[in-house]
Amino acid sequence: MNPAINFCSQCAAPVRFEVPPGDSLKRHVCGQCGSIHYQNPKLVVGTLPVWEDRVLLCLRAIEPRRDKWTLPAGFMENNETMAEAALRETAEEACARVELGELYTLISVPHISQVHALYRARLLDVDFSPGAETLEVRLFPEQEIPWKEIAFRTIALSLRHFFEDRQAGNFGFHAGVVPPPP
Amino acid sequence: MNPAINFCSQCAAPVRFEVPPGDSLKRHVCGQCGSIHYQNPKLVVGTLPVWEDRVLLCLRAIEPRRDKWTLPAGFMENNETMAEAALRETAEEACARVELGELYTLISVPHISQVHALYRARLLDVDFSPGAETLEVRLFPEQEIPWKEIAFRTIALSLRHFFEDRQAGNFGFHAGVVPPPP
């Protein structure tokens, strides 16, 4: 998920991959100006939008997992809050307007250096439509969720929590980890 | 918090700052190989370690906020979970061993493109000591917390939640936002 770093983005000199003084991990360090180019996990933020008894899913138009279903979510941008990112992604991917609820799931995906965060959300209307990275947007009742065609395990896990919590009548907050695929 | 990008880290050619096709935000785009160099928010993860009625704080040895008190926390690294990051930072900054509890606060700091996450934690012993980026580690009862000398607003906010929740006898999960300073 992190592209290789060959050259310094400050001065264009070649970088070395080595442990800087006082550090404990290898970093890309410029051999000329000394800049250290850190790489850190990315936050993927989105919503679990609900209309009556149904959940909104998006059919992905892009890789990875083109033609699989997902919740509206994407990479958080600089200078926004997590809640703003969730609303923006819901608008971009599903052209949907929601009232944001509580943060619902927060799942580390260490093998791809990501953390996935999903908010519960209430659709304000059903005038949604596919955004540029979406082929189709549809509302699914629980019994029609295409479980074998869900794009990402964090999404399937969040949906399972949602239907279990709805059945129990109590929506908690769920933190978790998705390990590498077997 | 994000250094300028002048050159492509893939091929060393100069980059342009422009909106790539199909995007809506300006990115650093290589004029030669076309690589897009995204910049995204960083997660800062740590713990709120407790021993009996006292909370562990670290006096910072480095900028920003040298000589101010903070909870043990730092940038999450690639290929770790949030919980692993919290334990690692607690060991690095305070040489402290804790039993990790639940995620306690998750606070967006959009003007510096960070999200700060703190876990409740129970110190397993009092054999803590300053790590390389810490001048002093000390346990504080509530009435001695140096409120005017806390390094970051997310830390002060998390400590306030903790003492209020402890008083109320109920520790929830707190999501929030810290706006730019006035």
Q: What DSSP designation does A52 have?
A: T
Q: What pLDDT sits at residue A2?
A: 62
Report how far residue A35's alpha carbon sits from residue A24's, in angstroms, rounded to the nearest whole number. Answer: 17
Task: Dihedral sign for Cα A30, A35, A40, A45, please.
Answer: negative
Task: With a cut of 70, say whether residue A149 has pLDDT above it.
Answer: yes
Report how far residue A48's alpha carbon sits from residue A34's, in angstroms, rounded to the nearest whole number. Answer: 44
Whole-number average pLDDT of chain A: 96
- Judged by a CB distance cut-off of 8 A, whether residue B9 touches chain A is yes
Contact B9 A8 (CB under 8 A): yes
> What one-letter code names the amino acid at A126?
V
Size of interface A-B (CB pairs under 8 A): 122
- Judged by a CB distance cut-off of 8 A, whether residue A41 touches chain B is yes
Q: What pLDDT sits at residue A4?
A: 79
Split at pLDDT 50, 70, 90, the class of A150 is: very high
Task: With a cut of 80, say whether residue A3 has pLDDT above it.
Answer: no
Task: With a cut of 70, say whether residue A173 has pLDDT above it.
Answer: yes
With contacts defined as CB-CB under 8 Å, which chain B residues touch A110? Answer: 79-81, 84
Chain CA centroid to CA A60, Å: 13
Q: Is residue A19 within 8 Å of residue A26, measured between CB atoms?
A: yes
* Average pLDDT of the residues in A147-174: 97
**How many Cβ atoms are within 10 Å of A136's Cβ, its own excluded?**
14
- Judged by a CB distance cut-off of 8 A, whether residue A164 touches chain B is no
Q: What DSSP designation does B148 have?
A: G
Q: What pLDDT sits at residue B2?
A: 62
Which residue, chain included where needed, has tokens 């082929």? A135
A103-135 tens-digit pLDDT: 999 999 999 999 999 999 999 999 999 999 999
* Average pLDDT of the residues in A72-98: 98
**Distance (Å) of CA A53 to CA A49, A122, A139:** 11, 11, 9
Question: Residues 46-75, chain B: which have Cβ within 8 Å of A?
Answer: 75
Beta strands in B52-158 (DSSP E): 54-60, 69-70, 73-75, 98-109, 114-123, 134-141
Ranges in chain B, pLDDT < 70: 1-3
Q: What DSSP designation does A122 have?
A: E
A16-29 tens-digit pLDDT: 999 999 888 999 99
Q: Is residue B86 within 8 Å of residue B45, measured between CB atoms?
A: yes
